[in-house]
Structure 1
Amino acid sequence: MEQDIISDYQQRADTALEQANKYGQLVNKYSLQRLLVFGFLIFSVCMAVVQDDIMIFAFCLLVSIFWFAWLVRQQSKFEQLKQYYTDLKKVNENEIANILHRTNIYDDGTLFNNDKHFYTSDLDIYGNRSLFHLINRSSATPGNHKLAKWLDAPADKQTILQRQDAVKEIAGKNDWKLNLQTLLLFGLKQPADHIKNLVTYLKATVEIKDEKFLTIYSQAAPFIMLALIVASVFYAPARYFTVLVAIANNRLVSSRSKLVERADLIAGKIGAALALYALAFEAIQNETWDTPYNQALAARIKRTDGDSVSTQIRQLSKLIGKLNSRLNLFVSFILNVFFIWDIRHIIAIENWKRRNHQSLEVAFDVIAEFEAIMGLAGLAINNPAYTYPEIVDEEAYTIVAKDIAHPLIDEFKRIENDYELTDTFKVDIITGSNMAGKSTFLRTIGINTVLALCGAPVCAKSMRVSVITIISYMRIKDSLNESTSTFKAELDRLQMLLAAVQTEPKVFFLIDEMLRGTNSVDKYRGSKAVIEQLISKKGVGMVATHDLQIARLEDKYSDYVRNFYFDIQVKNGEMLFDYKIKHGECKTFNASLLLKQIGIDVEDSIE
């Protein structure tokens, strides 16, 4: 199954490469033709001199302008198509690498790392090779923040179920998903705050001095110039008026050069981005959605009282694109002489901004939400064996999983386990040897629960889970900056856990080797006291430990505490791990064997 998915992505990537090469050749063809325009213009100058007739040059100049403009449009269209297929190839190749090597060209979420969060640091939610890095398909900051918000805390049951339906629908539209990813891929190269700056620019209008006069004159200017040119054909002195008006027009534009340059400094950088965002909005609007969640999202950018968001943004993109024509000095001079081009389009851009007062933040938030959903959908597409968990609404706690495994471990290396906690209150004590799988199992339950409660599929054959709040106690770190020892850090974490059990809804804790920063006697006493306090508060969760005495709590709290273990088999001095969880207490430990492998004989050292 995995090979079929990879083959599909590879075929898509190969087809995209062929198309990129095809349009690359067309770009080069039209680039050469643009040189012919200049050759034609030089030829017209020579002919005008030989024939002593400036009208030959004037006519050829008009032909050259329209010819050059057509070539520029064609070349620009083919460049956009070449870039699209180049990006489509990257997107498909990234999916292959994501499946095979767990790599990703999108952000890894390091920005969201927080050692004081309930679980994200312990469960590898953010950072290199993290869960966020595995599933993220957001090309811009808003999408990254949206996905991080979903992973930071469980949603309510209704939202989870709606997201599941939305994810399923997009997982069934892989062509659409890859297309939208491709349209938005440019965002990876943009500054982190480019959307924020873009929205700020679009909402801020500029007052233009003599705007009413300039608006009227900019509309009349091309007709005045055309009339003077026609008059010059029949009445030679009219040529002088033509030249004077041309100079006056150019002077009028240059007198507003600071205004134009200031506007172009901002608008010029976002024109191409707006065109791509317009295509992205259009892709969302034009798709037929069946699930309420996706329908509601798409409805936020569809307008019944006017143009859609995609149409409006495309209009602005075209205006900015036309303003960018000023970057070519020759073309800029001609356009300003005939059309008062720069002023004409600065006014048009400002009028657009005044007319469109709708909240653009909402529109970009829709894209962010779709990117977050696409990340979860990508997980489903690339891992067809994953399943959508059943979200149960019961008074007590439920986590029931069959063949559950860790999604960040390679498919051929991870071990599947079963676990059952059905509508009850329990503390599970998990004992076992070093490296036998205790910590990995805790993380497996934790990370899949995080996936389940954000609306994603999970790495299991089946799973039932209630809406719970995960709190972990696993990777406790000291801090030189905060003058915090390991033991103090552990106490702080325990204090947070005990407080959360009383204040947070349905806390499910994952504790791995409590109180490592103290001696064995205090460690046992303290661990036992903490677990008993959690039991008294009706706390529910798992405690992994090497201390077999902790397992004795099952004798005292037989209706509340359950014992599980991971063990090893030793054959001919070799340790064999099956990484399977079992009921009961561990009887086999391997520290002495591990020490012996590095040259330390425990029995000899006692003497």
Structure 2
Amino acid sequence: MEQDIINNYMQAAALAKQEADKYKGLANYYSLLRLGVFALMIYVIYLTIAQDNFTIMAVGFVVLLAGFAWLVARQGEYERQRDYYLDLEKINLNEINSLQSNTNLYNNGQRYSNEKHFYSSDLDIFGNASLFQLINRAATSAGNDKLAAWLNAPADKPTVLSRQEAFKEVAANNDWKVNTQTKLLFATKEDTDQMKRLFIYLGIPLELSGEKWLSPYIKIAPYLLLATILAGIFLHPVFVFIAVAIAFFNTLILLAKGSFILKGGAIADKIGSVLANYAIVFKAIENQQWQSKRCTELNEKLRVNQTSKNIEELSKLINKLSYSLIMIVGFILNVFFLWALKQILLIEKWKRNNQHNFEEAFDVIAEFEALMSIAVPSINYPDWTTPIIADTKGYTVIAKNIAHPLIRGKRVDNDYNLQDAYNIDIITGSNMAGKSTFLRTIGINTVLALAGSKVCASAMEVSVITIVSYMRIKDSLNESTSTFKAELDRLQMLLAAVENEYRVFFLIDEMLRGTNSMDKYLGSKAVIEQLISKKGVGMVATHDLQIARLEDKYPNYVRNYYFDIQVIDGEMLFDYKIKHGECKTFNASLLLKRIGINVGEE
């Protein structure tokens, strides 16, 4: 199954490369034609001089300039097509790399890492070789933020169901998804601060004094200046002085409004083309016929506000503003048309009409990127399942053949059953037998489920719960924190969460490692009993068999499970399967013996 998916991506990448090569050839061909037209222009100049006939140059230059402009436009279009197919090839190759080696050209979410978060650090949600790296297909900073927020906290049941319906529709339209990813790939190199500055600029109107008379004057200024120039040539020289006075007056206006123009010019650099790219993405969303409720709602936000059309209009205005930055062309445009000021006034008008919808529109793209990301398991891992979101009074976490989504190659799956109940499961077992991995398997799949995505299992049912983990406890030299102090801080956070957060499901791996064995046992026992008193629910993995005796004291609340090993001819064999009961076989002595340390009996 996986090989078939890889073969499909390989075929798509090969076709994209073929198209890219075709358009590259066409772009190069038109580049040569442009060179030929330029050579003809030189020849026209030669003929004009040789025959002393200015008509040749006048006619020839008009025709050749028109041809040159057409060739430039065609070459530009072919280059855009070439770049699109090169990006499409990258997108398809990225899916192959993700499937084969778990690499990803998109952000791995390292900036969202937070060791004090309830679970993200312990469950490898962000960073290298993380869940975020596995599924992220968001190019924009806002899209990354949206996906991170979904993975950082469980959604309520209606939201999860809405996302499930939406990602299924996105996954069913994989061609649209890949096409949209390709159109957004430019944003991976986007200056996020630049877009933030644009949002700020568009959200703050400029108080431009004299706008009421400037707007009509700017409309008539070029005609007035042109008329006086022509009158000076054909009627009377005095009109030349009038034309100079008008040009000087226009320049004074531009200088007077220079601060406003500079503010607008600060956003012109590269933003216009970036907005044009976004307009294409908005159009791709608007033109798709959506059926799911959430996708339809998002699409309607864009359609009602004519987002693609308005963003394209703003892009053109900003690009036109940048013309005034070109030295000679800008001087002529500003003197005749007060060009920079005209564009600033038009941008201000655009802001007044659209500023309230602008950030909301970009949030739509961000949400579609998050939906495309949680759709990845549905497309790349068809054996994964869409979980049922339970609505039970007690806690429900039921899974069949559940495995860890980040483990490559052969994964060992397990079953787990907590159905509408309040239980604490004590999991004992040998070193390396699979206890920690099982806790992370339940945790990371629950995070996926409550973000709205598929899970790595053949079946799963889970109620809306808040995962809180106690697993990778580290000291901190920067904060002068010992391991034991770090454990106490984490325990305090866990106990507070059980009391104050919504339906906490905890995952504890080897409590109180930073102290002696007796204190460790007594402390762990006291913590678990306090959790029971607070009706806490979750799993506790431990090497301490005495903790398993809590099942005798709390038979209706505590359940025992274990992972064991088989020792055959001195070799340890792990099956990584969870079983009911408590572990009887441990392997520390065998592991020490392998490195040359014999453990004797007391």
User: Are 2:458 and 1:457 equivalent residues in the alignment?
Assistant: no
Deviates more, 1:213-222 or 1:308-317: 213-222
Would you say the 8 A contact 1:249–1:337 is kept in 2?
yes
TM-aligned CA distance change 1:157 to 1:355, over 3 Å: closer
Distance 1:271 1:289 in 2: 29
Distance 2:469 2:25 in 1: 56
SS in 1 for 2:356: coil
SS in 1 for 2:201: helix
Which residue of 429, 441, 457 corresponds with 1:444? 441
Deviates more, 1:85-94 or 1:40-49: 40-49
Deviates more, 1:262-271 or 1:129-138: 262-271
Deviates more, 1:25-34 or 1:157-166: 25-34
Residue 149 of structure 2: aligned partner = 149
Residue 181 of structure 1: aligned partner = 181
Residue 100 of structure 1: aligned partner = 100
Residue 377 of structure 1: aligned partner = 375
What is the correspondence of 1:8-47 to structure 2 with a 5 Å cutoff? 8-47=8-47
1:56 offset after TM fit, Å? 5.4
Would you say the 8 A contact 1:214–1:343 is kept in 2?
no
Would you say the 8 A contact 1:250–1:340 is kept in 2?
no
Deviations along 1:43-65, one digit per CA (max 9) or x if unpaired, are 44445555656665555554455
Would you say the 8 A contact 1:507–1:539 is kept in 2?
yes
Which residue of 404, 407, 410 corresponds with 1:406? 404
Would you say the 8 A contact 2:250–2:335 is kept in 1?
no
Distance 1:52 1:249 in 2: 35
Which residue of 536, 543, 547 corresponds with 1:550? 547
Distance 1:503 1:555 in 2: 29
SS in 2 for 1:508: strand
What is the correspondence of 1:192-271 to structure 2 with a 5 Å cutoff? 192-206=192-206, 256=254, 263-271=264-272
Residue 506 of structure 2: aligned partner = 509
Distance 2:393 2:477 in 1: 43
Deviates more, 1:178-187 or 1:310-319: 310-319
TM-aligned CA distance change 1:299 to 1:19, over 3 Å: same
Deviates more, 1:494-503 or 1:49-58: 49-58
Residue 523 of structure 1: aligned partner = 520
1:500 offset after TM fit, Å? 1.5
Which residue of 393, 396, 409 corresponds with 1:395? 393
Residue 558 of structure 2: aligned partner = 561
Residue 354 of structure 2: aligned partner = 356
Distance 1:26 1:80 in 2: 11
Distance 1:586 1:355 in 2: 69
User: Are 2:140 and 1:140 equivalent residues in the alignment?
Assistant: yes
1:266 offset after TM fit, Å? 1.8
Deviations along 1:105-158, one digit per CA (max 9) or x if unpaired, are 111111111111111111111111111111111112211111111111111111
Deviates more, 1:400-409 or 1:523-532: 523-532
Deviations along 1:280-315, one digit per CA (max 9) or x if unpaired, are 111111111111111111111112xxx611001112
User: Are 2:316 and 1:315 equivalent residues in the alignment?
Assistant: no
Q: 5+ residue gaps in structure 2?
A: none
Amino acid at match of 2:301: R
1:228 offset after TM fit, Å? 10
Percent identity over the alignment? Answer: 58
TM-aligned CA distance change 1:339 to 1:81, over 3 Å: farther
Distance 1:244 1:39 in 2: 41
Distance 1:482 1:145 in 2: 28
1:521 offset after TM fit, Å? 0.6
Distance 1:494 1:165 in 2: 38
1:360 offset after TM fit, Å? 0.7
SS in 2 for 1:300: helix
TM-aligned CA distance change 1:239 to 1:42, over 3 Å: farther
SS in 2 for 1:193: helix
Would you say the 8 A contact 1:249–1:336 is kept in 2?
no
SS in 1 for 2:269: helix
Would you say the 8 A contact 1:433–1:590 is kept in 2?
yes
Would you say the 8 A contact 2:566–2:572 is kept in 1?
yes
Distance 1:210 1:68 in 2: 42
Deviations along 1:232-267, one digit per CA (max 9) or x if unpaired, are 9xx989999999979986995798486766634421
Distance 1:243 1:30 in 2: 46
Which residue of 417, 420, 431 corresponds with 2:414? 417
Q: 5+ residue gaps in structure 1?
A: none
TM-aligned CA distance change 1:247 to 1:457, over 3 Å: farther
TM-aligned CA distance change 1:41 to 1:211, over 3 Å: farther
Distance 1:370 1:321 in 2: 27
SS in 2 for 1:602: coil
1:173 offset after TM fit, Å? 0.7
Distance 2:410 2:245 in 1: 76
SS in 1 for 2:192: coil
Would you say the 8 A contact 2:23–2:78 is kept in 1?
yes
Amino acid at match of 2:412: I
CA-atom RMSD, angstroms? 3.1
Amino acid at match of 1:524: Y
Would you say the 8 A contact 1:246–1:337 is kept in 2?
no
Distance 1:341 1:33 in 2: 33
Amino acid at match of 1:132: F
Distance 2:303 2:74 in 1: 30
Alignment length (residue pairs): 599
Deviations along 1:415-461, one digit per CA (max 9) or x if unpaired, are 10000011111111101000000000000000001111111100000
TM-aligned CA distance change 1:599 to 1:335, over 3 Å: same
Distance 2:57 2:219 in 1: 25
1:184 offset after TM fit, Å? 0.9
Residue 477 of structure 2: aligned partner = 480
TM-aligned CA distance change 1:355 to 1:541, over 3 Å: closer
Deviates more, 1:185-194 or 1:460-469: 185-194
Distance 2:371 2:335 in 1: 50
Distance 2:383 2:419 in 1: 24
Would you say the 8 A contact 1:107–1:133 is kept in 2?
yes
TM-aligned CA distance change 1:9 to 1:251, over 3 Å: farther
Distance 1:457 1:431 in 2: 29
Amino acid at match of 1:507: V
TM-aligned CA distance change 1:8 to 1:205, over 3 Å: same
Amino acid at match of 1:268: D
1:227 offset after TM fit, Å? 8.4
TM-aligned CA distance change 1:333 to 1:197, over 3 Å: closer
TM-aligned CA distance change 1:63 to 1:260, over 3 Å: farther
1:67 offset after TM fit, Å? 3.6
Distance 1:30 1:186 in 2: 25
Deviations along 1:1-28, one digit per CA (max 9) or x if unpaired, are 1111111111111111111122222222
Residue 83 of structure 2: aligned partner = 83
Amino acid at match of 2:162: Q
Would you say the 8 A contact 1:122–1:472 is kept in 2?
yes
Would you say the 8 A contact 1:431–1:544 is kept in 2?
yes
Residue 575 of structure 1: aligned partner = 572
Distance 2:433 2:392 in 1: 33
Would you say the 8 A contact 1:225–1:242 is kept in 2?
no
